[in-house]
Amino acid sequence: MKLRKGSRRAVGFRFGIVAAKFNAQVTSRLLHACVETLTVQGVPQENVMVVRVPGAFEIPLVARTMAKSGRFDAVICLGAVIRGDTPHFEYICAEVSRGVGQAAVDTDVPIIFGVLTTETVAQAVERADTKKFNRGGEAAKSAIEMVMVMRKIQGGR
């Protein structure tokens, strides 16, 4: 049995990033860490396209459109959905995760789910802290690894 692992060196890869504007104090940090991680791994700025959308609910459509364009090796989705006093949280979380997953299956392009779903603002801020475990940077690492995995499976293209 051959185990196929990806690398995290991304020279020549092209990435689309869809980032929600809502909860900007969190999503801006996720975006910054994501782009910084890609840059450190060898991705030139011209190989990264960032599209900002109003909120998390709008992420799947743009992610799918970017993936279908053929311009990107992977698409990274960043957002923050924070529980409030209504069931809105459950509906948004369910639809965003379903939509992102479906977009990946429909397009055969890695689409990374970097959308925080937290109970409190404090939890979201903690997960976007660059001194701790910033999910934006981790989403970038996952995207790089998935591009490598897919290339190996598809015959090294």
32 is catalytic: no
Which amino acid, one-letter code, is at 110? P
Q: Is the dihedral of CA 94, 100, 106, 108 positive or negative?
A: negative
Task: Count Cβ atoms below 10 Å from residue 143 Cβ, excluding itself.
Answer: 32
Strands 111-118 and 74-82 come out as parallel
Which phi and psi (to 5°) does residue 20 adopt? -70, 145
Which among 53, 95, 94 has a CA at the least distance from the CA of 77?
A: 53
Q: How far apart are CA 87 and CA 94, in angstroms?
A: 11
Q: How far apart are CA 27 and CA 50, in angstroms?
A: 12
**Catalytic position from the list 4, 71, 88, 132:** 88
For the annotated catalytic residues, the residue numbers are 88
